[in-house]
Amino acid sequence: MAAQGTPRFLLTFDFDETIVDENSDDSIVRAAPGQQLPESLRATYREGFYHEYMQRVFRYLGEQGVRPRDLRAIYEAIPLSPGMGDLLQFVAKQGSCFEVILISDANTFGIESALRAAGHHGLFRRILSNPSGPDAQGQLALRPFHAHGCTRCPANMCKHKALSEYLRERARDGVHFERLFYVGDGANDFCPMGLLAGGGACTCSRCSRRAEPRGRQGARAGRGGARGSVPFLSRPFLLCAAASLGGGERVRRGLCLCS
């Protein structure tokens, strides 16, 4: 049992199409001339190298005069997924019961911009994502999160490794969670779910959405390679799940909170 004031549960969120209701990498294309990327750029995508592709996208946008402030305005306008605002407010009201983090293959600049605009940035103890920010030319630059040896994940991020390292860090701080919860929708969200086997739960945030290649502008692949479909968490179900996670209902070990 956790000591008073120590978080009992670790709640981990994905970002794109989980916290927000869009793929943010698609959203920023609205800043491009004609709101689309040239075919010559889209054709450079190679499976398994989505991060490198997005580096080229940001570089192209910068060459077209798109500045970080323009991209920030787009990120800030991305809507939350239905029911997500209620869920985050519920979690915030539980005090120290939950510790909340975010692991995403998007980028820190976009995630922090969106969360601040929505009023939820302070809820997250840590945002684990690809570092990004203005470079010397005033353009938004994107860097890989880390290196790893996982063959199931793209070269720039393995969420299993990211979550494992975070748990080890918290254990060194003397924090040991009673249960882990994971909320995600993508193919690369399957890898960290192996950590839930000892007593955790996952929630899947999309219905009949194939885990297709990343990027509707021609490169929607690379953040994992598996295909599948997962159920949608409607607003009522999100709130029901939140009530369960809050301790009122006992959640069985390994339960996947899918309707």
pLDDT tens figures, 75-106: 999 999 999 999 999 999 998 899 999 999 99
Check whether 145 has a pLDDT greater than 90: no
More confident residue, 206 or 45: 45
Top pLDDT among 33 and 235 is at 33
CB distance 124 to 102 below 8 Å: yes
Of 238 and 11, which is predicted with more confidence?
11
Residue 180, classified by CB atoms within 10 Å of its CB into exposed (0-12), middle (13-18) or buried (19+), is buried
- Rounded to the nearest integer, the mean pLDDT of the chain is 79
Instruction: Identify which of 19, 38, 110 has the alpha carbon closest to the alpha carbon of residue 71.
Output: 110
Domains of the chain: 9-245 (3.40.50.1000)
Read off the pLDDT of each residue in 28-53 and give the average, rounded to a whole number: 95
Q: How many CB atoms lie within 10 A of CB 61?
A: 21
The answer to whether 173 is a known catalytic residue is: no
The CA distance from 129 to 157, in Å, is 8
Q: What is the pLDDT of residues 149-189, one digit of tens each?
A: 887 788 888 999 999 999 999 999 999 999 888 888 777 67
In the prediction, which pLDDT does 203 show? 55
Q: Which residues contact 10 (CB under 8 A, 6 or more apart)?
A: 98, 99, 100, 101, 167, 170, 177, 179, 180, 181
| Region of poorest pLDDT, from 177-186, 200-209, 236-245 | 236-245
Active site residue 86: no
- pLDDT the model gives residue 196: 63
CA proximity to 30, closest of 110, 144, 112 = 110
Distances (CA, A) of 217 to 15, 21, 23: 19, 17, 11
